[in-house]
Chain A
Amino acid sequence: MSVADRVRERLATEEGSRVLGIRSDLLDRLVKTIRLDLRAKIGFTIVVLFGLSAVFAPMLAPHDPMAQAFGMLQSPNPSSANPLGTDSFGRDLLSRLMYGARISLAVGLGAVTFGALVGILIGLFAGYYGGWLDDLLMRAVDVMWAFPWLLIAIILVAIFGQGFWNVMFAVGFAYIDDFARLARGEVLSVREEEYTLAAESIGLSDTEIIFEEVFPNTVAPLIVQFTVFTARAILAESTLSFLGLGVKPTTPTWGALLGQGRGFITQAWWISIIPGIAIMITVLGINLFGDALRDAFDVKETET
């Protein structure tokens, strides 16, 4: 019926149970979730649209984001040349927005991935082993939690300097504690489940049980957390850029665009409002998409 179906048929192997090497029931569930749920559809569309425009910005952007046009300073007029107007240097806002998406989305995703990796590892081990290891790790996490994220990020950027990777780690660092806490809580309940004992009885080692049995059972809430925090990380990057501690002052990122427009808010509102709207829509889309992902990963929710 749809393109997805036809693609699936084309790609399905002889066994008919795998698509591109992925078990087809997993993909089916994802496709079904997106197809059946309007919110999931909206989220998916937004994520794909923004993702594609970020990836293909160099090809899609109508102008060079750095090219100044002094005849077009602060032009609000939507025109075929500048659909979203220009900024105070006459640079095309749409192009800057598209290029900005590259940094903002990359920093957002990268930061949360970093925070999730470290945090989930801490949470898994602390929750599974308990005892002194749990105390040690979780007290360390408590210490991190006691500091406001912005303060930590500012300190880290101040120490290590600006730049894409530094900003990413600085933002991601602040999320370690949240992921650790959530993962640990989930592990505590999964650890008491009988199938964990059963896994032990079939001869799996602790490490194998942690990663192969316990972790997959904690994934659902972590996915939701991941998407919520991706949205937050984009905001965090914007905040840092707004404060001038972002990637690089000249690089267009959404936060930087917003910050640059601040001075002209009375004369040219669109310079800061439009990036703001972009951030808002992205955050919304990612959250909706995250809910859909969570449903798709929950094998029990396919009884429809």
Chain B
Amino acid sequence: MTPRTPTQGSTREEPLLEVENLRTSFPTDRGDVTAVDGISFGVDTGEIFGIVGESGSGKSVTALSILGLAADGEVEADAIRFRGEELSTREMSAVRGGEISMIFQDPMSSLNPVMTVGEQIAEVVRHHGEVGESTGILSELRRKYVTGTSDSSRSWQRAVELLDTVGIPDPEQRANEYPHQLSGGMKQRVMIAQALAGDPSLIIADEPTTALDVTIEAQILNELFELRDEFGVSIVLITHDLAVVRETCDRVAVMYAGELMETARTETLFDEPTHPYTKGLLRSIPRVDDDREWLNAIDGTVPDPFNRPSGCPFRDRCDAAFELCSEPLDRYDATGTDHEVRCHLQHDAVDIDDGEPVVEGSLHSRLDGTETEPLDERSGVVEPGGERQ
């Protein structure tokens, strides 16, 4: 792999990837479904950034939207910057598979079944590397399906090398096999090799281990770790598995119903979860050493995408919800640097946007049941009675 220029000094100032206010909605017969609702985050060079959330929370759509692959979706964003520069649609499609590549969830269905795995990697090398081999449709068709890429060509050698890098034994042999001849773990390694073939600086891995068993999962995660350590690749790891997040990620964002509820360094998030949803998630992890009969699930279900509650999407399931929760959310700093929470419980902390508290006084007292004074009288923000049932 070619050496990449390391970012000098503090990387905090200029993230490798910066997403600002990304919104993706899908038009349907019943109206628009907003899958991603105004999320912002940054990924630093060499960082593993986790996005964790339930199924349907918009994690995968986020990934696809960034890459411009959300086929029927309408993607809007204030900015999607890569290396500090905003990428046009055209530029993004040039970067795709090269500078930014993606690993898909299901290795069984993400590889072309009628092409040998070596070809599928070599093709990426030809498209993004400087190997001087034509990528015309006719020569590609001939190479991929009839003659095979010549063993002596650089793209093929690189493909074999990559298979070796991701830990596939006997790569010369394996490169000539079809996806169905490989095991699930092998296929996921092939996917990783394919993602590496364009010399990426950022890999977006969408639940890369969900379809695999636990042993293989550990191996694949190790593989990702090594990539980061060896090549300084940044990784956006999308998962629903908190254990995976804890083991691998440097920073993590918790996503719920299309919004990022809490973003923090991994240790911070696990040690001092601030958002009620994050707390609920962490509480719901079953432990080997406890003898509870019931798991601590979060009551209720994800809101109906056609009928989202106003304000905080989690308020209907939240034990700590109060009147203000039906107001639009802002981002707040929680426990110091690098910890953002979108929750009105934090609104007495400093508002990130203008540095001013939105409402004076602490509302935490309301949670204790000691607060009796109607909120509207004090702040004028909420209607009498509120919307909360």
A216 touches B104 (CB 8 A): no
Asked if B214 lies at the interface with its beta carbon under 8 angstroms from chain A, I say no
Size of interface on B: residues with Cβ below 8 Å to A: 43
Distance of A195 Cα from B191 Cα, bound (Å): 11
Asked if A25 lies at the interface with its beta carbon under 8 angstroms from chain B, I say yes
Asked if B151 lies at the interface with its beta carbon under 8 angstroms from chain A, I say yes
Asked if A134 lies at the interface with its beta carbon under 8 angstroms from chain B, I say no
Which of chain B's residues have a CB closer than 8 A to the CB of A198? Answer: 102, 104, 110-112, 191, 194
Given known pairs A203-B94, A216-B145, the reply for A195 and B110 (CB within 8 Å) is yes
* B97 to A: closest C-beta gap in Å: 3
* B110 to A: closest C-beta gap in Å: 5
**Interface residue tally on A, bucketed by range:** 20 to 34
Given known pairs A15-B151, A208-B140, A211-B141, the reply for A201 and B114 (CB within 8 Å) is no
Task: Tell which of A16-24, A55-63, A159-167, A249-257 binds the partner.
Answer: A16-24
Contact pattern, A 187-231, Cβ under 8 Å of B = 1, otherwise 0: 000000111011111111101100111001101000000000000
A207 touches B137 (CB 8 A): yes
A194 touches B110 (CB 8 A): yes
Residue of B71, B148, B194 touching A202 (CB-CB under 8 A): B194
B109 touches A195 (CB 8 A): yes
Asked if B26 lies at the interface with its beta carbon under 8 angstroms from chain A, I say no
B127 touches A202 (CB 8 A): yes
Asked if A133 lies at the interface with its beta carbon under 8 angstroms from chain B, I say no
Asked if B69 lies at the interface with its beta carbon under 8 angstroms from chain A, I say yes
Asked if A300 lies at the interface with its beta carbon under 8 angstroms from chain B, I say yes
Instruction: Name B95's closest neighbour in chain A (CB-CB).
Output: A203
Beta-carbon contacts under 8 Å, B83-135 to A? 93-98, 101-102, 104-106, 109-115, 123-124, 127-128, 135
Distance of A198 Cα from B96 Cα, bound (Å): 10
Given known pairs A202-B96, A203-B98, the reply for A17 and B112 (CB within 8 Å) is no
Asked if A158 lies at the interface with its beta carbon under 8 angstroms from chain B, I say no
Which of chain A's residues have a CB closer than 8 A to the CB of B81? Answer: none
Distance of A207 Cα from B191 Cα, bound (Å): 23
B97 touches A300 (CB 8 A): no
Distance of A23 Cα from B143 Cα, bound (Å): 9
Contact pattern, B 142-163, Cβ under 8 Å of A = 1, otherwise 0: 0011111001000000000000
B111 touches A195 (CB 8 A): yes
Which of chain B's residues have a CB closer than 8 A to the CB of A219? Answer: 114
B198 touches A203 (CB 8 A): yes
Asked if B265 lies at the interface with its beta carbon under 8 angstroms from chain A, I say no
* A150 to B: closest C-beta gap in Å: 36
Beta-carbon contacts under 8 Å, A72-91 to B? none
B148 touches A18 (CB 8 A): yes
Residue of A15, A212, A299 touching B144 (CB-CB under 8 A): A212
B104 touches A194 (CB 8 A): yes
Given known pairs A197-B104, A203-B127, the reply for A208 and B113 (CB within 8 Å) is no
Asked if A26 lies at the interface with its beta carbon under 8 angstroms from chain B, I say yes
Number of A-B residue pairs with CB-CB distance less than 8 Å in the complex they form = 100
Beta-carbon contacts under 8 Å, A285-304 to B? 299-300
Which of chain A's residues have a CB closer than 8 A to the CB of B109? Answer: 193-195
Given known pairs A194-B106, A203-B98, A204-B127, the reply for A300 and B141 (CB within 8 Å) is no
* A197 to B: closest C-beta gap in Å: 6
Contact pattern, A 17-38, Cβ under 8 Å of B = 1, otherwise 0: 1100111011000000000000
B113 touches A21 (CB 8 A): no
* A210 to B: closest C-beta gap in Å: 9
Beta-carbon contacts under 8 Å, B53-83 to A? 64, 67, 69, 71
A22 touches B146 (CB 8 A): yes
* A76 to B: closest C-beta gap in Å: 49
* A110 to B: closest C-beta gap in Å: 22
B69 touches A197 (CB 8 A): yes
B114 touches A217 (CB 8 A): yes
Given known pairs A194-B104, A202-B127, A202-B198, the reply for A22 and B147 (CB within 8 Å) is yes
Asked if B322 lies at the interface with its beta carbon under 8 angstroms from chain A, I say no
Which of chain A's residues have a CB closer than 8 A to the CB of B135? Answer: 208
Which of chain B's residues have a CB closer than 8 A to the CB of A203? Answer: 93-98, 124, 127-128, 198
Distance of A275 Cα from B148 Cα, bound (Å): 43
A17 touches B104 (CB 8 A): no
* A32 to B: closest C-beta gap in Å: 15
B101 touches A202 (CB 8 A): yes
Asked if B284 lies at the interface with its beta carbon under 8 angstroms from chain A, I say no
Residue of A195, A201, A204, A212 touching B102 (CB-CB under 8 A): A201
Distance of A23 Cα from B198 Cα, bound (Å): 26
Which of chain B's residues have a CB closer than 8 A to the CB of A15? Answer: 151
Instruction: Name B108's closest neighbour in chain A (CB-CB).
Output: A194
Closest 9 CB pairs of A and B: A203-B97, A202-B97, A23-B148, A194-B109, A201-B102, A203-B96, A198-B110, A194-B110, A195-B112
A-B contact pairs, 5 of them (CB 8 A): A193-B109, A194-B109, A200-B96, A202-B101, A217-B114
Additional A-B contacts beyond A198-B191, A300-B113 (8; CB < 8 A): A194-B104, A198-B104, A202-B127, A203-B94, A203-B95, A203-B97, A217-B113, A299-B178
